[in-house]
Amino acid sequence: MFGIGFQEMLVILVVVLIFFGPKRLPDLAKSLGKGIAEFKKASEEVRKGIDEAVREADNEETDTDSPPPGDAAGSDPSSPGDAADSDLPPSAANESPPPPSAPKG
């Protein structure tokens, strides 16, 4: 527990007993217990909120990666020439480039 051994815990309890007295010690322990319980509850709520936000972000990311269901193109992104020739008309995409001209000199 927090890297504190039995002897250190005993010294802390003796100091607290001397400082606060035996009459206030039960009230102090009760207040400390309630504070720790509330802290655990609040940290669990924060953890759940973070997990939910991460889950929503993952769901949105997977939704944006998949194509929409009404995609008219329906083409495979791995098909050859799909990315480079997409701006050219179909007739220009199949033509070979013109031969290089002879150097003038």
For tokens 């031969």, name the residue. 99
36 burial level (CB within 10 Å; 0-12, 13-18, 19+) = exposed
Span 2-59, pLDDT tens digits? 688 889 989 988 898 898 888 888 898 899 999 999 999 999 999 999 999 999 988 8
Mean pLDDT for 84-88 is 55
Confidence at residue 75, expressed as pLDDT on a 0 to 100 scale: 52
Spell out the domain ranges in the chain: 24-63
pTM, two decimals, is 0.45
Q: What is the DSSP secondary-structure string of 25-61? A: HHHHHHHHHHHHHHHHHHHHHHHHHHHHHHHHHHHHH
List the structure tokens of 37. Answer: 């319980």
Q: What is the DSSP secondary-structure string of 72-105? A: S----TTSTTTTTSTTS-HHHHSSPPPPPPPPP-
Does position 101 have pLDDT exceeding 80, yes or no?
A: no
Worst-scoring range by mean pLDDT, 21-25, 66-70, 77-81?
77-81
Length, in residues, of the chain: 105
Confidence at residue 22, expressed as pLDDT on a 0 to 100 scale: 86
Confidence at residue 93, expressed as pLDDT on a 0 to 100 scale: 53
| Dihedral pair phi/psi, residue 91, rounded to 5° | -70, -35
Q: Is 92 left (phi over 0), alpha (psi -120 to 50) or beta?
A: alpha
